[in-house]
Amino acid sequence: MAGNSTDYEYAPYSVDRNLQDPDLYLNRELSELQFQKRVLHEALDERNPLLERLRFLAIFTKNMDEFFMKRVGGLNQQVEAGVTGVTADGMTPEGQLDAVLEEARPLFERQAACYREEIRPALAEAGIEIVDYADLTPEQEAAVSDHFERDVLPTLTPLSFDPAHPFPFISNLSLSLAVLTRRPGADEPTFTRVKIPQNQERLLEVAEGRYVLLEEVIRANLGTLFPNTEVLETALFRLTRNAEVRRNEEVAEDLIDMIEDVIEQRRFATVVRLDIEAGAPDRILDVLTEQLDLAEREVYELPGPLDYRDFFELTDLDRPDLSLSEWSPQPHPRLSGEEHGFDHRYDIDATGSEFDLFSEIRRDDILLHHPYHSFDDTVQRFLDEAAHDPDVLAIKAAIYRTASDSQVIESLIEAAENGKQVAVMVELKARFDEQNNLEWVHRLEEHGIHVAYGTIGLKTHTKTALVVRQEDDGVQLYSHVATGNYHSETAKGYVDLGLLTNDRDIGHDLVHVFNFFTGPALDEEFRTLLIAPVTMRQQFTRFIRREAAHAQNGDRARIVVKMNALEDPQIVAELYRASAAGVEIDLIVRDICRLRPGIEGLSETITVHSVVGRFLEHSRIFYFENGGEPEYYIGSADWMTRNLDHRVEAVTPVEDVRLREQLRFTLEVMLADNRKRWVMQADGRYEQCRPAEEPVRNTHRILMDAVRDAKTAEDAVRGMVSAYPVEADLLVESRDERTE
């Protein structure tokens, strides 16, 4: 493919170091765990409100579950298959697995200690008690026992393991109670598994502000579940299963059948982690490890609770004294019509004229920034109006993930019912969303919508939509190119960008991308978009080498990139060469980063930052100084091998000067953050920035304030400047100047 070409117009800057040296690359799995450590820090940080700390305990559990299902599961498969090849950092799968399991254990222990020693006592002091069953008053115990018999007991199904019963299947991530019982006259105890129901409230409120965990209620009432039987010992446990179960797409006769098979296989996949209560009886532990075929290193003995995900429920309590200030995503001033005297509630002005969304996009490009801007009032509105506009001829959209009750899908269905030509690319291989996406495929096809399921060998990860509209001067193309999914719920907590544009070249390129989803091949050339896997790698490589050439010529050379992950060794090598040539480079990388900053003669001009706070940073921004003619790009791709070579991705230039200003100030605010920003050291560790005498600068807080107070798009930029007075141009000044 063109994306693998090494002829990029600018020759790579020559360095003395061997860029194949494993010491120059950090391990991606250990780098991911460094990110999870930063996530856990938000729970440990006493400067955060108490319920926000509790929320991050739950987020950490969710993240680590996914890490073990995907990454540890994949390493296990490689080890079992006898794979001995090494990664760019020189580690074998076995070596990585050993290092990951060793690194993860203290993180789980710190999470448990944080809850028991800090957060739980602090919650109790604030009037939110999570008590042990033994601490219930007699009246509360009676009420809970009644609730157990009436509502819980009928849902429980004890599954015993004995000569007459096989070892029960235990589902992924389910919380269970292992019970050893003895019947009268029996010589040996019986092992029984009791699943804690996932469709019942886990935090039972026994009095105002007082809660007991459902698993403790069940444990305390086992005598009712096992009548005429002696309960000997119990232990809570929880399994994590491998999610890396796949089938060869080349031999799959039907992609939908393949995905359904993968979902089914995942239910029964091998176990990669057992969490079990600290002090669990040996007899219970022996049964579980033997039947589940687990090594000692795969067992995590931890004080309860073993699953913090349900604590999300408490974070919604009406306790503003314990929470961050509420945030409601704001209408975009351009799309609400307020800039032109329209009332955004009715979209009419004082003369009764209607606000025309498509005319507004045609007037100038519009930059959306979620969750600062409302998804419903921007992206959803764009699709809604297209669905009902009589002049719209066709709508095309690429769906990677979407909400289970997606209004986006409903709008596409309404468009088809209104006679529009509708084509939807639904990525069935979007991990953990396969079932949801399968259901949407069936809904769409029931309404006569043409659905493409994906492509052989490639995932479709673009976040794009195209509206084709008949207007007086001919057919116009309205494009949405974004960094985030068409998912109304995640848009409330994920930081993402999107460009709404009438640019003909962008629209033309999207036409060809969408045609690829149903046609035989992907074009090798595009007018303006960077498209993976055909042009993106070579163009980004060209941009990096161009900066190195400017530095060699004595011109100012600067790269600032914001992304989720920097994993691709070839790109890392290009950045090393550019730094050695003198290019000033700032990398704002949320989690995985293979590059080592601060290596003498190789990466001294590179700084790696990571911002972790109330919102999940998910947007990608690419800035290249280009000899005083800066270029800005946004899009769906990280600098990972999978994104550049194995996925269909789209990155768009941002040409409008006002929109560039918004991107510029967003980057500047992040580079100046002294509250939620971390800076990587050469050994891969991160140190958090802390304000000394200067005012606190929190990226999310500054951008929230700026957007909330904005009445026009220009107000948003001015708001950023006033919230954080920029005394110097951080985007183009040198690293040394910035850190003095």
Q: Is residue 542 domain-shared with residue 491, that is, in the same domain?
A: no
- Is residue 81 included in any domain, yes or no? no
Greater confidence (442 vs 14) lies with 14
Q: Is 34 part of any domain?
A: no
Compute the average pLDDT of residues 110-137: 97
* 11 is a domain residue: yes
549 with 594, same domain? yes
Q: Which of 101-105, 239-243, 244-248 has the highest mean pLDDT?
A: 101-105
What mean pLDDT is predicted for residues 9-28?
Answer: 94
| 481 in Cβ contact with 366 (< 8 Å) | no
515, with CB counted inside 10 A (0-12, 13-18, 19+), is: middle
User: For position 437, what pLDDT does the model report?
Assistant: 60
Which residue range is the domain that position 284 belongs to?
Answer: 111-320
- 253 pLDDT band, cuts 50/70/90, is very low
Residue 651 to residue 654: CA distance in whole angstroms: 10
Q: Domains in the chain: how many in total?
A: 3
Residue 134 lies in a domain: yes
Do 287 and 347 lie in one domain? The reply is no
Q: What was the pLDDT predicted at 716?
A: 54
Same domain, 466 and 606: no
259-313 pLDDT, tens digit each: 445 445 545 468 999 999 999 999 999 999 999 999 999 999 999 899 999 999 9
Please report whether residue 724 resides in a domain.
Answer: yes
Could you tell me the two tokens for 251?
A: 């031999």
Among candidate residues 320, 344, 367, the one where a domain is terminated: 320
695 prior amide bond cis, ω within 30: no
Give the pLDDT mean for 158-170. 88
Q: Return phi, psi of residue 124, to 5°.
A: -60, -40
Q: Which residues of 273-303 are buried (b: 16+ CB within 10 A; e: fewer)?
A: bbbbbeebbeebbebbbeebebeeebbbbbe
pLDDT for 736 beyond 90: no
Angle at the Cα of 176 (from 171 to 181), degrees rounded to 5? 125
Q: Which residue has the higher pLDDT, 3 or 573?
A: 573
Residue 350 pLDDT class (50, 70, 90 cuts)? very low
Same domain flag for 338 and 196: no
Strands (E), 280-328: 299-302
Q: Could you please report the per-residue DSSP string of 266-296?
A: HHTPPEEEEEEETT--HHHHHHHHHHTT--G
Give the CATH number, domain containing residue 714.
Answer: 3.30.870.10
Say whether both 201 and 235 belong to one domain: yes
Across the chain, what does the average pLDDT equal?
88
Choosing from 471, 486, 518, the residue where a domain stops is 518
Asked if 542 contacts 494 with a C-beta cutoff of 8 angstroms, the reply is no
Q: pLDDT class for 737, splitting at 50, 70, 90?
A: very low
Question: How large is the average pLDDT for residues 451-468?
Answer: 87
Does residue 679 surpass a pLDDT of 80?
Answer: yes
Query: Would 673 be classed as within a structural domain?
Result: yes
311 and 380 belong to one structural domain? no
643 lies in the same domain as 675: yes
Instruction: Convert the pLDDT of each residue in 574-616 to its tens digit.
Output: 999 999 999 999 999 999 999 999 999 999 999 999 999 999 9
Query: How far does Cα 81 stand from its chain's mean position?
Result: 29
Bridge-based pairing of strands 210-213 and 129-131 is parallel
* 520 vs 446 pLDDT, higher one: 446
Q: How many helices (H) and strands (E) does the chain have?
A: 23, 27
- Give the per-residue pLDDT at 2: 38
- Model confidence band, residue 254 (pLDDT cutoffs 50, 70, 90): low
Q: How remote is the C-alpha of 402 from its chain's centroid?
A: 13
% of the chain surpassing 70 pLDDT: 88
pLDDT tens string 391-433: 999 999 998 877 777 899 999 999 999 999 999 888 766 455 5
Instruction: Name the least confident of 11-15, 253-257, 630-634.
Output: 253-257
One domain, residues 313 and 364: no
Q: What pLDDT is attached to residue 400? A: 82
pLDDT digits (tens, 9 = 90+) for 686-713: 999 998 888 999 999 999 998 887 766 5
Count of C-beta atoms within a 10 Å radius of residue 536: 27
Assess whether 359 and 210 both reside in one domain.
no
Per DSSP, which regions of 149-229 are E strands? 159-161, 175-182, 190-195, 203-207, 210-213
Q: Which residues contact 227 (CB under 8 A, 6 or more apart)?
A: none
The reply to whether omega before 305 is within 30° of 0 (cis) is: yes
Residues 619-632 pLDDT 10s:
999 999 999 999 99
pLDDT band per the 50, 70, 90 thresholds, residue 251 = very low
Task: Specify whether 491 is located in the same domain as 587.
Answer: no
Per-residue model confidence as pLDDT tens digits over 55-91: 999 999 999 999 999 999 989 888 888 989 999 999 9
Residue 619 confidence (pLDDT): 98
Please count the other Cβ atoms lying within 10 Å of the Cβ belonging to residue 65: 19
Q: Cα separation of 505 and 512, whole Å? A: 11
Looking up residue 269, the CATH number of its domain turns out to be 3.30.1840.10
Q: Is 517 within 8 Å of 460 (Cβ atoms)? A: yes
Count Cα atoms within 13 angstroms, Cβ side, for 427.
25
Q: Please check whether residues 337 and 236 belong to one and the same domain.
A: no
Single out the catalytic residue among 332, 369, 370, 461: 461
Q: What type of residue is 24?
A: L
Given a contact cutoff of 8 angstroms between Cβ atoms, the answer to whether 673 and 611 are in contact is yes
Is 461 considered catalytic here?
yes
pLDDT 10s digits, 484-498: 999 999 999 999 999
Higher-scoring residue by pLDDT: 165, 469? 469
Domain annotation covers residue 385: yes
Averaged pLDDT for residues 476-482: 98
Per-residue confidence at 524, pLDDT binned at 50, 70, 90? confident
**d(Cα 212, Cα 199) in Å, to the nearest integer?**
16
pLDDT at 177: 97
Is 105 among the domain residues? no
CA distance linking residue 176 with residue 51, whole number of Å = 26
Of 295, 320, 345, the residue at which a domain comes to its end is: 320
pLDDT of 185 strictly over 90: no
